[in-house]
Structure 1
């Protein structure tokens, strides 16, 4: 993951290092008030040749769904099969700062997801919801094939909604292996309730990761800043084997993709992605 605590001008060297090292995916955040997800995602796709780029996630209160669909479709047509799009509530305090906080974030996310997936499927959409209104809207340049729309979630109602209305779920680094098991159960419930195949849903989880000199101290400091004690079962610090073991625990709990999230104080972002691709990845199936 390229964290937005890094200046935007650092992105190119991290992308080049990740692509050259054979990393499967590089993930980005749209984080108030640091860096935009679509702009950094487009640059990362343009600067790389083969890896997929995940945008996890775009806060829906900031975006008209038609704009999100237009931008996502453009990325998918320019870089087929490589973009991964995630949307979510956003941090509510930040949404309040920009005048975008809504009374029911859950309703907004449901309406946004349903309209976004329909637009990206090439449909003409007319809908009048509490927050999302479209009148005969269709993309002139929809993606040339099916695309996934993922949604982020933390609480049980939101996670269940991701099963109902999204194609995948993004779980934060505050999620332990036991948490992954719990959320996967709710995702399955949501998909079954919506009449969707419960076995075709991608689960992505972030894993706070530190390696090299001072790794344990950096991990403890970041967890403490988030209000977590050392026994919370979150994150990993150590060598490649320790990180691979932590990844394996999350995949055994139900995650399909584990994204290594460096600490905010990671001293060598380019070295971190090479470590992920060249040292950790060979230790995994």
Structure 2
């Protein structure tokens, strides 16, 4: 299996709980709290471990929250490469309203970074990558980190012989979408809202999303583009291929980490040499399994294997 390295520069110590009903001005009595290590690349590595794979995880950590997060990752059996970050690692809170079946997610900001912090982190990431391996850059960037870091990393990692998977948002995603083939990721994933934002309009259906994804590929934005359409599943487009995998109809308990679980399952399949259509199917089955679990939990391996049969991949 090819080496997988995940990158998380803005991790969070995730707390998840539930209450009978969310209401203002009263004390809300919470259920026992679940604590998990969180952040895009961390969740990708967690999903890979849950599915029986292995990965290495570059994580920028600081303070007591960082120490707690590192302990949780080691307990999960994930090989950790710690990069010392400034300040204190952030935390986040997810609260489920049991009466309405709704989830509220509170994301605290991470500590601001300076230019030297960015240079040092970039050095750690590139030195940690193995030629021929897969590198996953996932999640938000810390305050103070310019969007240019992501394409810069893509170029340096590809020069080392790595294949780069990017799942980001905001300014970093918009900068990648304006690229013309220079330092473009090999795989770029986005959700429906992010794709609508880039397109400047609502992508109405699966074909519309596939057309948009393929247009990005042909502009040199990435070698392949994936657009997640929530309950409809995901589409994947390359220069000459377009696939759709339908999501499973399952009870939704929490959407936390569903996209990261997709990336973990998809990347693990690539690392094992699976064809694109199978990797897409496994990604969608992983995301479907993830929404079935509580709070900040991700997926169960047995659920993913069971759901594979009802997440077929077909050409578009």
Normalising by structure 2, report the TM-score: 0.39
| More strand as a share of residues | 2
| More helix as a share of residues | 1
Normalising by structure 1, report the TM-score: 0.42
